[in-house]
Copies of this chain bind each other. A is one copy, B any other.
Amino acid sequence: MTTLGYAILGLLSRETLSGYDLTRRMGEQVGYFWSARHSQVYPELARLEAEGYVTHSVVEQRERPDKKVYEITGTGLAALREWVTEPARPRPTRDELVLKAYSVWLADPAEAARLFREAASRHEGQLERYEEIEGWMKREWAEDLGRPGSPRFASYATLRRGLGYEREYAAWCRWLADALEGIR
């Protein structure tokens, strides 16, 4: 099984979804820490079905094209549950902006500062979006956020990672931009 397969199972363990909806989730919720295009999702769904992890049923729609709605099977849920606590083998991080920072000594400092300030803005924007979601979760999901057996707790846990990641990334960009402009 591929990691993409578990990403899909993770979504289907919460709700039934079509390939189209799965692809959208891959660009939103799960997309912040795992993503895939529809051209990867459709073949993966076929593989998951061939191996008995999911099933589908065709839902006819009047005003929209028909769709295949996928559901996780008992086998799929068991496989997902087992995978969760298995140690993940570390994948190399690849971050182009940090790579640029490594060669920033070659560039015009003012121009480089612009680049990192823009990046800071992007990450701050994402941080603000996450903070709004956090506020909403704390209001609407209060009781569930302390329950490790609740999917809402798990959603909150991943959101926390996003918050920390963006906050830290933005701070680093700002620090570097300041340093490039000679601000002490």
Contacts and interface: CB of A to CB of B under 8 A. Distances in A.
Residue among A3, A109, A154, A169 with most chain B CB within 10 A: A154
Nearest to A155: B102
Interface stretch (A54-62, A92-100, A129-137): A92-100
This chain's copy number in the assembly: 2
A111 B99 CA distance: 36
B172 A101 contact: no
Contact of A105 (B88, B111, B148): B148
Contact of A33 (B90, B94, B157, B169): B94
Contact of A106 (B3, B77, B146, B180): B77
A113 to B, nearest CB: 9
Contacts of A87: 115, 118
Given A93-B165, A105-B153, A168-B168, 11 more contacts: A7-B99, A33-B98, A33-B99, A81-B103, A85-B100, A85-B114, A87-B115, A88-B97, A91-B94, A98-B161, A102-B158
